[in-house]
Amino acid sequence: MNKITNVNIHPSWKEALADEFQQPYFAAIKQYLLQEKQAGHVVYPPGKLIFNAFDATPFDQVKVVILGQDPYHGPGQAMGLSFSVPRNVAIPPSLDNMYKELKTDLQLDVPSHGDLTAWAGQGVFLLNASLTVRARQANSHQNIGWQKFTDAVIRNLSNKREGIVFLLWGGFAKKKASLIDDTKHHVLTSGHPSPLSANRGYWFGNKHFSKTNELLKTQGKQPIDWQIR
């Protein structure tokens, strides 16, 4: 793994995914990313942030999973956490709609930035199905093996943990429900927060943030403080 670059990943994930890191398909991902670099292509997020979600939220502390499709592909946006951007970057439309839902659902102030690291630190695992993307080419790395890896991540969480709240937004994410044992976990689905879906009435009003906290509280778990400061 470290032959790609100096990535950061919490030891709990290294243990949970040890078998996956040894698979031929994972070696093929590493080789592909090296070839991208050698060919002069810019890949997001930066190498040290590819596994940021896995470093920020340890395996045994995951309480909620928010699944995205792939990283933002504009300069400076991707930071290895689904839907999140660094503080000095404009808030993307999907995240803006998430904030609007938070305001109506939980009466929270709309944040001034899009860095969701505070969520990750509370057990919200911000996972993208693809962990990298070529600059300015959405979904350009969706077929290089990442989805096999992240499917294994979801299955590991489903098999080895209990009571996780999985938030699956949009058609792509909803397909991942088949990887989750819903007798052990909670699966909430809705339309995607992107403007195309949200403006058609498939996102606003889903109350997923308050519903997540209610599900956590019924298990005796600390609810998520969704307010980004």
Report, as residue numbers or ranges, the catalytic residues.
Answer: 70
Residue whose structure tokens are 């403006």? 199
Helix, strand, or coil (residue 68): strand
Eight-state DSSP code of residue 179: G
Q: Which residues contact 130 (CB under 8 A, 6 or more apart)?
A: 69, 70, 71, 139, 141, 142, 144, 146, 147, 150
Eight-state DSSP code of residue 115: -
Q: Are strands 64-68 and 124-128 parallel, antiparallel or unpaired?
A: parallel
Helix-then-strand count for the chain, H and E = 10, 6
Burial (CB < 10 A; 0-12, 13-18, 19+), residue 226, is buried
Alpha carbon distances (Å) from 24 to 17, 30, 152? 14, 10, 14
